[in-house]
Chains A and B, each alone.
Chain A
Amino acid sequence: MKKRRNLILTLAALILFGGFLYYAQHTFNPYILRILNLCAVFTIFAVTFNLIFGYTGQFSLGHAGFAAVGAYVAALLTMSAAQKSANFFLKPIISPLANVEIPFLPALLLAGLFASVVGSLVAWPALRLRGDYLAIATLGFSEIIRILLVNLQPITNGALGLKGIPSYTNLYWSWGAALVCIFIIKSLINTSYGRAMSAIRDDEVAAEALGVSLFKHKMMAFAVSAFFVGVAGALMANLISTIDPKVFLFFLTYQIVGITVMGGMGSLTGSTIAAILYTVFLEALRPIESPFTIGPLNIPGIPGMRMVLFSILLLTVILFYRRGLMGTNEFSWDWLIGLFHRKDTALAAPTGGAEK
């Protein structure tokens, strides 16, 4: 009975959300649309990082590298031959790649697959390590990927980057991918695999003693995570329509870690909320960088002020809500309805309908 009610509510919410996307895509100006698209991209980044860190407990800093792989694969597959020859004016592109041009959907999937393969390759040797050591190893791999992008000039155009990537990304693609990503990761968490991952997070030794294969489950978390990071990277490339290796500096990983911690480790809802807050905040805070007057005070515009304010905000969240905005709680219909019934019991329910 309850299950059915939740299913109906979920479907209704999805239809409502679809309607909103349709309305937004047709009426909002490109500025708002761009921010909404970036929200979706960062949502995927944060949710996938949560799978590796929040649920499986592996502190990996390879996100920027995986995103770079996805972005470059999608960019090279969707650019027209003419655009490619214009881009590669210093060193020509290698021949089989020069004339490839495929639609966006297969390009997205290939970008994800490629990133997933790279993610697994990275994870294979790195997963023997734990904690801080794993973080350093994955950080190193992510840097290797970036250095390769800089030096493999006949494939990636090196530091010159790629421009004129067709801007296929719109709200349907970005939020569609984000919803699929959240749905799949939520489903995975609710299976026995997901439970095993949580067990690994809580205590590796105990989990292994219970017969959980550490390697298998860690690899699974990495592969699934890297797949969606690759897709998000591809969405980003086709959104800003120009990329170069500097887009995927370590700073990108920092941002993702910050968002996930702010949202709450072990909460997909938290990741989603924090990703949206982060992206929107960065833009909404722009006015404080231009000069303004408060009473007799004339404050000159200081570029970079919003980053300061944002950092303070992040600090506040970490200091007063150590577990992030949502802790390990998820949004669920039971919880929402419980809220209206003023039943405190519903709050603790960590499982339930996931789609937000």
Chain B
Amino acid sequence: MSSRKLFSMLMSLVILASLLVGCQPAAPQAPAAPPTQAPAAQEPAAPAPAEKPAEIVIGVYEPMSGAQAAGGQQTMQGVNLAYEQKKEVLGVPIKMVLVDNRSDKAEAATAMTRLINQEKAIAVVGSYGSSNSMAGGEVSEKAGIPVMGCSPTNPLVTQGKHYYFRACFIDPFQGRVMAKYAVENGIKKVAIIQNISQDYSVGLAAFFKQSWNELTGSMDGIVSETSYQDGDQDFTAQLGAIGDAEAIYAPGYFGDAALLIKQAREMGFKGLFMGSDAWEAPELVSIGGPATEGAVFSSHYSAEAATTPASKPFVEAFQAKYNEVPSAMAALGYDAYMLVIDAIERANSFDPKAIRDAMAATKDFPGVTGSITINENGDAVKDAVVLVVKDGEFKYLSTVKP
């Protein structure tokens, strides 16, 4: 009995000891893509413009597991492609380090700290999911490391942050895009159904209302405003409240949206469905079926409408690598990585502060999702596209300028 206790104690001690070893600065990790460069340099020297370091580290933090894993993985497709095309900047090889933030706030903050303090990243890309980005942003701000967000659209992400930028537009703009679309298409009455447990959904609904008020001069057109929670499967109560609305604006994730659309059609609703960039997933159509036909939503980019010279080669390279049409998240991941490289090139330096200044000065960068200019808040000013579901596929409908 006692010897067993002793053994268990010893074992825990051994585990503890091994952990302490594990805490040491990690051995050089191979990058996410097939490792080609020699793992010669382990200590990236303090980057000075005059002398060239052996390699530089660009960190990526994305939700690769957890609730938002699908979005994180789509984004990584684009980031990996960009990394394959650009493995060097200013003649110095890049080491890309991906850290999973598990769709969790505490984990995202730790992931960012790890990238900065352990991996010595000089710039970071990420993250899908605004709440992850907000947690990481607090850390990078203090450390003074520039971050290029790929798809966090919540305005709070870059607000008050000098080192956080993003390649995507923000929710107020996206809300306005759809309000404008509705008004221009002669819709007089709209019902809003929001997911109250998603900051993303709550924000978009609020910005849609605000723009509606500005465009029509009153709130009379909003006939109902109802909410649901994460995991809800039954939307009959919310749909029962829409009255004589001609359109439903439901800025939630594709899974909820697909069920909602299906149930609305079953209840006899004949009007228009409007949504947001989170609708853009094949599951919208596969779950919602023919009911989703004609639904419109705002998004970042469409493979059909090649907006800049960079779009076409990207779509071709992407299809060659993954054998599928790139999603908006992948395109934004690609752009975010390329924006970082562009900033380093223009700064002509590996100093995080200089890279930050170059990022802030980004103007008319030819990204695959459109021409990107970073404004004074660190947000990208660029076009949005409106997509429509036609024959079970997402088709390009129109472009809305900022």
Supply 28 A–B pairs (Cβ within 8 Å), ascending by A. A31-B114, A31-B116, A32-B23, A32-B117, A35-B23, A35-B110, A89-B155, A89-B156, A147-B229, A150-B197, A160-B199, A160-B202, A161-B199, A236-B106, A240-B135, A240-B138, A242-B134, A244-B131, A246-B197, A283-B23, A285-B22, A286-B114, A292-B29, A303-B98, A303-B100, A304-B65, A321-B8, A347-B2
* A150 cross-chain contacts in B, Cβ below 8 A: 196-197, 229
Which of chain A's residues have a CB closer than 8 A to the CB of B196?
A: 150-151, 158-159
How distant is the Cα of A34 from the Cα of B117 in the complex, in angstroms? 11
- Chain B, residue nearest A304 (CB): B65
Q: Do A161 and B131 contact each other (CB < 8 Å), given the known contacts A277-B12, A290-B30?
A: yes
Asked if B114 and A283 make an inter-chain contact with CB atoms under 8 angstroms apart, the answer reads yes
Chain A residue numbers with a CB within 8 Å of B206 are: 90
Q: Which residues of B288-325 have CB atoms within 8 Å of chain A's CB atoms?
A: none
For residue B42, CB closer than 8 A to chain A, the reply is no
Distance, CA A281 to CA B99, complexed state (A):
15
Residues of B contacting A283 in the complex (Cβ-Cβ under 8 angstroms)? 23, 110, 114
Question: Chain A contacts of B139 at CB under 8 A?
Answer: 30
Give the distance to chain A from B181, nearest Cβ to Cβ, in Å. 22
Task: State in angstroms the CA–CA spacing of A280 and B116 once bound together.
Answer: 18
Contact A286 B26 (CB under 8 A): yes
Counting chain B CB atoms within 10 Å of each CB, which of A87, A167, A245, A246 scores highest?
A: A246
Interface on chain B toward A: helix, strand, loop, or mixed SS?
helix
| Cβ contact of A31, chosen from B5, B29, B118, cutoff 8 A | B118
Determine if B6 is an interface residue (Cβ-Cβ < 8 Å).
yes
Across the two chains, which residue of chain B brings its CB closest to A298?
B34
Decide: A240 and B197 in contact? CB cutoff 8 A.
Answer: no
Contact A273 B12 (CB under 8 A): yes
Asked whether A163 lies within 8 Å of B134 as measured between CB atoms, the reply is yes
Q: What 0/1 pattern do residues 198 to 242 of A give for CB contact below 8 A with B?
A: 000000000000000000000000000000000000001001111
Known contacts A290-B29, A325-B8; is-contact A241 B100 (Cβ 8 Å): no
Main secondary structure of the interface of A (DSSP, over half): helix
Across-interface contacts of B186 in A (CB, < 8 A): none
From known contacts A35-B110, A301-B32, infer whether A242 and B5 are also in contact, taking CB-CB under 8 Å: no
Does A109 count as interface, using CB distance less than 8 angstroms?
Answer: no
A163 near B156 with CB under 8 A, answer yes
Give per-residue flags for A318-356: 1 if the beta carbon is below 8 A from chain B beta carbons, else 0. Answer: 000100011101000000000100001001100000000
B143 adjacent to chain A (CB < 8 Å): yes
The answer to whether A277 and B197 touch across the interface, beta carbons within 8 angstroms, is: no
Q: How far is the CB of B226 from chain A (nearest CB, A)?
A: 13
How many angstroms between the C-alpha atoms of A150 and B201 in the bound complex?
Answer: 13
- Give Cα A161 to B114, complex, Å: 24
Q: Is B64 an interface residue (CB 8 A)?
A: yes
User: Interface 1/0s, chain B 108-130, versus A by CB < 8 A?
Assistant: 01100110111000000000000
For the complex formed, measure the closest distance between the CB of B90 and the CB atoms of chain A, giving whole angstroms.
Answer: 25
Contact A31 B64 (CB under 8 A): no
A302 to chain B, nearest CB (A): 9
Contacts A35-B110, A280-B23; A292 near B2 (Cβ below 8 A)? no
Contacts A159-B199, A240-B135, A301-B98: A287 and B105 contacting too (C-beta < 8 A)? no
Q: How far is the CB of A12 from chain B (nearest CB, A)?
A: 21
Q: What's the minimum C-beta distance from B138 to chain A, rounded to whole angstroms?
A: 5
The distance in angstroms between the C-alpha atoms of A327 and B1, with both chains bound, is 12
A287 close to B29 (CB less than 8 A): yes
Cβ B138 vs Cβ A242 within 8 A: yes
Write the chain B residue with the least CB distance to A236: B106
A284–B2 touching, CB < 8 Å: no
**Does B19 have its Cβ within 8 Å of any Cβ on chain A?**
yes
Cβ-based interface call for A127 (8 A): no
Q: Tell me, yes or no, whether B35 is within 8 Å of chain A by CB.
A: yes
| Chain A, 156-181, CB within 8 A of any chain B CB | 158-161, 163-164, 167
- A90 touching B203 by the CB < 8 A rule? yes
Chain A residues whose C-beta falls within 8 Å of the C-beta of B98 in the assembled complex: 290, 301, 303
- Asked if A289 meets B100 with Cβ closer than 8 Å, knowing A158-B196, A301-B32, the reply is yes
**Which residues of chain B are within 8 angstroms of A307 by Cβ–Cβ distance?**
65
Chain B residues positioned under 8 Å from A286 (CB to CB): 26, 99, 114
- Tell me whether B138 and A164 are in contact (CB under 8 A): yes
**Of listed A276, A280, A286, A344, residue having the most chain B CB within 10 A:** A286
Would you call B6 and A90 a contact (CB within 8 A)?
A: no
Chain A proximity mask over B142-156: 1 for CB below 8 Å, otherwise 0: 110000000000111
Task: Give the chain B neighbours of A151 by CB distance below 8 A.
Answer: 196
In the complex where A151-B196, A321-B8 touch, is A284 in contact with B19 (Cβ < 8 A)? yes
Report B1-40 residues with CB < 8 Å from chain A CB.
2, 5-6, 8, 12, 15-16, 19, 22-23, 26-27, 29-30, 32, 35
Having A35-B23, A301-B98, one finds 8 other A-B pairs with CB under 8 Å, namely A29-B118, A90-B206, A160-B203, A163-B156, A236-B106, A242-B138, A277-B15, A286-B114
Complex CA gap A36/B30 in Å reads 27
A150 to B155, CA, bound (A): 19
Contact A292 B30 (CB under 8 A): yes
Question: Chain A's nearest CB lies how many Å from the CB of B363?
Answer: 27
Does B159 reach chain A (CB closer than 8 Å)?
yes
Please tell me if A38 contacts chain B, counting CB pairs below 8 Å: yes
Tell whether A291 is near chain B: CB-to-CB under 8 Å.
yes
Determine which residue in B16, B19, B229 has the highest number of CB atoms from chain A within 10 A of its CB, and name it: B19
The answer, among A30, A281, A287, for a CB contact under 8 Å with B117, is A30
CB of B91 closer than 8 Å to a CB of A? no
CB distance B156 to A87 under 8 Å?
A: yes
For residue B213, CB closer than 8 A to chain A, the reply is: no
* Given A34-B113, A150-B196, A277-B12, also A303-B65 (CB < 8 A): yes
A242 & B105 in contact (Cβ 8 Å cutoff): yes
Say yes or no for B217: interface residue by CB 8 A criterion: no
Contacting residues, chain B, for A304 (C-beta < 8 A): 64-65, 69, 100
- Cα separation A247 to B101 with both chains bound (whole Å): 13
Contact, CB under 8 Å: B202 / A325:
no
Contact between B198 and A347, CB atoms less than 8 A apart: no
B268 CB within 8 Å of chain A: no
Interface string of A122-144 (1 = CB under 8 A from B): 00000000000000000000000
- Complex contacts, B15 vs chain A, CB 8 Å: 277
- Does A312 sit at the interface, judged by CB under 8 A? no
Q: Are A86 and B159 in contact (CB under 8 A)?
A: yes
